[in-house]
Amino acid sequence: MSDRGVTVWFTGLSGAGKTTIRMVIEQELRARGLKVEVLDGDIVRQNLTKGLGFSKADRDENIRRIGFVAHLLSRNGVIVLVSAISPYRNIRDEVRQKIQDFVEVYVNAPLSVCEARDVKGLYKKARAGEIKQFTGIDDPYEPPINPEVECHTDQESPEESAMKVLDYLEQLGYLPTNSVTSRA
- For residue 67, pLDDT over 60 is answered with yes
* One-letter amino acid of 52: L
**Reported pTM:** 0.90
Give the pLDDT mean for 74-80. Answer: 95
pLDDT bucket at 102, cuts 50 / 70 / 90: very high
- Let me know if 154 is exposed, middle or buried by CB neighbors in 10 A (0-12, 13-18, 19+): middle
Give the pLDDT mean for 72-94. Answer: 94
pLDDT in tens, 11-43: 999 999 999 999 999 999 999 999 999 998 878
- For residue 182, pLDDT over 50 is answered with no
Q: What is the mean pLDDT of the chain?
A: 89
Active site residue 86: yes
Q: Which residues contact 46 (CB under 8 A, 6 or more apart)?
A: none
Give the pLDDT mean for 81-93. Answer: 94
pLDDT of 119 reads 81
pLDDT of 28 reads 96
- CA–CA distance, 146 with 143 (Å, rounded to integer): 9
pLDDT of 98 reads 95
pLDDT of 1 reads 45
Give the pLDDT mean for 100-125. Answer: 92
- For residue 136, pLDDT over 90 is answered with no
- For residue 49, pLDDT over 90 is answered with no
* Backbone φ and ψ of 105, nearest 5°: -115, 115
DSSP the chain: -----EEEEEE--TTSSHHHHHHHHHHHHHHTT--EEEEEHHHHHHHTSTT--SSHHHHHHHHHHHHHHHHHHHTTT-EEEEE-----HHHHHHHHHH-SSEEEEEEE--HHHHHHH-TTSHHHHHHTTSSSS-BTTTB-----SS-SEEEETTTS-HHHHHHHHHHHHHHTTSS---TTS---
Identify the structural domains of the chain with CATH numbers, from first to last: 6-109+140-171 (3.40.50.300)
**How many angstroms separate the Cα of 157 from the Cα of each of 20, 22, 121, 150?**
10, 13, 22, 13
- For residue 183, pLDDT over 50 is answered with no
- CA–CA distance, 6 with 91 (Å, rounded to integer): 18
Give the pLDDT mean for 40-48. Answer: 79
pLDDT of 118 reads 86
- CA–CA distance, 4 with 35 (Å, rounded to integer): 10
pLDDT of 48 reads 73
Q: Between 24 and 60, where is the model more confident?
A: 24
Q: Which of 14, 74, 83, 86 is catalytic?
A: 86
